[in-house]
């Protein structure tokens, strides 16, 4: 009896030790997971904050000579990335205008016809589309838009390549959001004699609105930082351009350009900081919206 | 079915040889015929899977929402075959209340009551709207509880209040018959007894057809009862008679708790 009790006690302390070890391991691995984002933000703020000012948002970049003079005098690089900010906004808005209606309608179709062969095919293709390398989408937009339509690099071509990137995310989030709405809500509307298309437009979509919005915001934050497809489509521009048929700059394109000019190094960090800030904000906003719906 | 000679005159609803199949050939409701009395509460009882909800939903043509459901026989509502009516007209005449309270989560209490008008694009003047909302909420004894919070979301209410709101939503159309599918099974006893009192009161102006798996509820509030088993209507009669002197052995066994 006595020895049995001892064994149990030994067992218990070994279990407690194992439990502590495991907890420690979980904590350690979690810290490893969050450390990159903390280090990234720290580095961006440390290196980039000095350049951030009103001018940074409303002025276009300096030429190499201006930047070189400022750097050799130990001053801040003059000018900003207004052309990149406006270009990014222009292309993101245009990409959203293209992909949101198509994506939401496709998502509704998938939700309404879960077992149909065409729906399954659409869902699979949409998933594959999500995995297509972004540079390939840039090439496609080059072939579809740059050559035949705008006969030159253009914001439109950039938007098309970005909208193809966004599309699968919107399709999926629409379908998943609608699936989460209880069948009883749908039946409540049908039982009132509401025609089916109105059930979708006036009951299902408003009920799932925040879910749809979350998907859209995440899609936007995904394309905000895309660089590769834009190199083949929007190309870049040293001035503010709002004409969708003309070459246009974007924040990630500017970061690439700054990288290639040793005098502009400081602008890389501040531009990255701004871009990171935009992506983080969108992510946090969409998380808030998603949390509020649950 | 045992003949009951109920002889219901001027029924609000006549069910004639109704059969409903989910898959070809497997019937959830088999050849049911019955007349439903006006201004009375009729309860449909039976064990799970006996087809009682399926039959109720057929009356509202709810099955049209799903594919592969086959309905045979006819349903005559107020002298008219329901398949000849546009669904909007049918569903105005036959309001439906579900097992779980399902107010529209995006709409206020006020808009939930007139959702049938709003979502169908039927325009009412402000005065008419206010009247419909007040009348319907008074009918379900919810008015005094919510009259100051009409523009809050319906989902802020308690479960029992939500279910009364859903009944008000059905009443707003001033239906001939109210179909209730186990309306209290998700509610606590206090909320349940409120709904039961309400249904007894509502039969003055409406005809009520209610599915319930709760025998004592059927005994408490219904005037007529149906007992269904495996898709068949086994027995149909005055509730008093059925509970005191069931004619079919299966009804008796169910009522005495031998199965179900």
CA dihedral B77→B81→B87→B92, nearest 10 degrees, is: -20
Scanning chain B, the segments in alpha helix (DSSP H) are: 52-59, 87-93, 109-113, 115-119, 126-139, 143-146, 159-171, 189-202, 215-221, 239-244, 249-255
Asked if residue B224 is part of any domain, the answer here is yes
Asked if residue B248 is part of any domain, the answer here is yes
Q: What pLDDT is attached to residue B3?
A: 47
The closest alpha carbon to B130, from B151, B161, B107, belongs to B151
Asked if residue B242 is part of any domain, the answer here is yes
pLDDT tens track for B50-64: 999 999 999 999 988
Q: What pLDDT is attached to residue A29?
A: 97
Per-residue pLDDT band for B23 (boundaries 50, 70, 90) equals confident
Asked if residue B3 is part of any domain, the answer here is no
Asked if residue B5 is part of any domain, the answer here is no
Confidence check: pLDDT of A129 > 70: yes
Cβ of B102 within 8 Å of Cβ of A182? The answer is yes
HSE (side-chain half, CA atoms, 13 Å) at A113: 13
Yes or no: say if A157 and A141 are a contact pair by the CB < 8 Å rule.
yes
Instruction: Identify the residue among A188, A197, A204 best suited for mutation to test binding to B, counting B beta carbons within 10 A and taking the highest.
Output: A188
Instruction: Taking residues B233-248, report their average pLDDT.
Output: 94
Cβ of A190 within 8 Å of Cβ of B62? The answer is yes
What whole-number distance in Å separates Cα of residue A123 and Cα of residue A8? 55
pLDDT tens track for B110-139: 999 999 999 999 999 999 999 999 999 999
ipTM of the modeled complex: 0.88
Q: Which of B104, B121, B166 sits opposite A203 (nearest CB)?
A: B104
B contacts of A178 (beta carbons < 8 Å): none
Confidence check: pLDDT of A4 > 70: no
Average pLDDT, chain A: 93
Instruction: Taking residues A169-197, report their average pLDDT.
Output: 93
Cβ of B98 within 8 Å of Cβ of A198? The answer is no
The closest alpha carbon to A256, from A280, A226, A286, belongs to A226
Q: Which of A191, A206, A207 sits opposite B62 (nearest CB)?
A: A191
Cβ of B98 within 8 Å of Cβ of A186? The answer is no
Whether chain A has a CB inside 8 Å of the CB on B108: the answer is: no
Asked if residue B234 is part of any domain, the answer here is yes
* Domain residue extents for chain A: 1-35, 82-292
Q: Which CATH number fits domain A82-292: 1.10.3720.10, 3.40.50.1000, 1.10.357.10, 3.40.50.300?
A: 1.10.3720.10
What whole-number distance in Å separates Cα of residue A252 and Cα of residue A177? 31
Confidence check: pLDDT of B234 > 80: yes
Sequence-distant (6+) residues with CB within 8 A of A181 are A204, A207, A208
A contacts of B167 (beta carbons < 8 Å): none
The distance of B71 to chain A (nearest Cα, Å) reads: 18
Instruction: Taking residues B17-23, report their average pLDDT.
Output: 92
B contacts of A202 (beta carbons < 8 Å): 119
Angstrom CA distances, A97 to A101, A158, A240, stand at 7, 13, 21
Cβ atoms within 10 Å, residue A81: 29
pLDDT tens track for A265-280: 999 999 999 999 999 9
Yes or no: say if B152 and B109 are a contact pair by the CB < 8 Å rule.
yes
Q: What pLDDT is attached to residue A291?
A: 81
Cβ of B65 within 8 Å of Cβ of A187? The answer is yes
pLDDT tens track for A227-255: 999 999 999 999 999 999 999 999 999 99
Cβ of B120 within 8 Å of Cβ of A191? The answer is no
**Domain tally, chain B:** 1
Cβ of B95 within 8 Å of Cβ of A184? The answer is no
Nearest residue in B to A209, CA atom: B106
Question: Which residues form the domain of B244?
Answer: 11-256
Instruction: Taking residues A166-189, report their average pLDDT.
Output: 94
Q: Which of B87, B102, B105 sits opposite A193 (nearest CB)?
A: B87
pLDDT tens track for B173-213: 999 999 999 999 989 999 999 999 999 999 999 999 999 98
CATH number at residue B206: 3.40.50.300
Asked if residue B2 is part of any domain, the answer here is no
Q: What pLDDT is attached to residue A174?
A: 95
Q: 3-state DSSP call for residue B256?
A: coil
- Beta-bridge partner residues of B72: B19
Cβ of B173 within 8 Å of Cβ of A192? The answer is yes
Q: What pLDDT is attached to residue B5?
A: 60
Q: What pLDDT is attached to residue A294?
A: 53
Nearest residue in A to B166, CA atom: A188
pLDDT tens track for A36-59: 999 999 999 999 999 999 999 999
Q: What pLDDT is attached to residue A293?
A: 64
Cβ of B102 within 8 Å of Cβ of A190? The answer is no
A contacts of B90 (beta carbons < 8 Å): 193
Per-residue pLDDT band for B2 (boundaries 50, 70, 90) equals very low
Confidence check: pLDDT of B257 > 90: no
Confidence check: pLDDT of B1 > 70: no
More confident residue, A107 or B3: A107
The distance of A195 to chain B (nearest Cα, Å) reads: 7
Cβ of B120 within 8 Å of Cβ of A194? The answer is yes
B contacts of A206 (beta carbons < 8 Å): 106
Contact pairs from chain A to chain B, CB under 8 Å: 69
């Amino acid at each position: 009896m006595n020895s049995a009790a001892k064994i149990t006690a030994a067992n218990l302390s070994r279990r407690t030790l194992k439990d502590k070890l495991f907890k420690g391991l979980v904590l350690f691995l979690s810290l490893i997971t969050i450390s990159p984002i903390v280090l990234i933000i720290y580095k961006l703020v440390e290196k980039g904050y000095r350049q951030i000012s009103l001018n940074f948002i409303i002025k276009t970049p300096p030429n190499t000579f201006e930047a070189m003079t400022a750097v050799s005098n130990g001053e801040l690089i003059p000018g900003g990335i207004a052309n990149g900010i406006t270009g990014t906004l222009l292309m993101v808005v245009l990409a959203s205008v293209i992909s949101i209606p198509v994506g939401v309608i496709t998502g509704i179709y998938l939700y309404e016809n879960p077992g149909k062969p065409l729906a399954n095919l659409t869902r699979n293709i949409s998933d594959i589309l999500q995995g297509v390398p972004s540079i390939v989408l840039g090439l496609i937009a080059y072939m579809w838009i740059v050559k035949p339509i705008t006969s030159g690099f253009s914001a439109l071509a950039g938007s098309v390549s970005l909208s193809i990137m966004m599309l699968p995310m919107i399709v999926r989030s629409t379908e998943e959001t609608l699936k989460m709405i209880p069948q009883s809500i749908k039946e409540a509307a049908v039982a009132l004699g509401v025609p089916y298309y109105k059930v979708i437009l006036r009951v299902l979509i408003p009920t799932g609105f925040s879910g749809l919005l979350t998907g859209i915001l995440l899609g936007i934050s995904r394309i905000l930082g895309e660089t590769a497809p834009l190199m083949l489509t929007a190309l870049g521009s040293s001035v503010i351009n709002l004409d969708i048929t003309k070459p246009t700059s974007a924040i990630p394109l500017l970061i690439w350009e700054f990288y290639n000019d040793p005098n502009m190094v400081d602008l890389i960090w501040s531009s990255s900081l701004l871009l990171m800030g935009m992506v983080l904000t969108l992510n946090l906003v969409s998380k808030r919206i998603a949390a509020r719906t649950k | 079915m045992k003949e009951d000679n109920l002889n219901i005159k001027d029924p609000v609803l006549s069910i004639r040889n109704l059969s409903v199949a989910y898959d070809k050939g497997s019937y959830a409701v088999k050849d049911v015929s019955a007349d439903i009395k006006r201004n009375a509460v009729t309860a449909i009882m039976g064990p799970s899977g006996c087809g009682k909800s399926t039959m109720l939903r057929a009356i509202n043509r709810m099955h049209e929402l799903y594919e592969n459901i086959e309905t045979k026989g006819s349903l005559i509502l107020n002298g008219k075959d329901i398949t000849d009516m546009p669904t909007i007209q049918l569903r105005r005449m036959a309001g439906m209340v579900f097992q779980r309270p399902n107010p529209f989560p995006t709409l206020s209490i006020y808009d939930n009551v007139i959702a049938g008008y709003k979502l169908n694009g039927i325009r009412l003047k402000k005065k008419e709207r206010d009247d419909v909302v007040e009348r319907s909420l008074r009918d379900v004894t919810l008015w005094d509880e919510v009259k100051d919070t009409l523009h809050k979301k319906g989902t802020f209410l308690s479960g029992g209040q939500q279910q009364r709101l859903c009944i008000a939503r059905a009443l707003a159309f001033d239906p001939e018959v109210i179909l209730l599918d186990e309306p209290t099974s998700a509610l606590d006893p206090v909320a349940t007894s409120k709904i039961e009192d309400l249904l007894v009161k509502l039969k003055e102006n409406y005809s009520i057809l209610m599915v319930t798996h709760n025998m004592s509820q059927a005994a408490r509030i219904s005037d007529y009862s149906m007992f269904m088993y495996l898709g068949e209507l086994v027995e149909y009669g005055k509730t008093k008679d059925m509970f005191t002197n069931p004619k079919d052995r299966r009804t008796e066994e169910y009522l005495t708790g031998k199965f179900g």
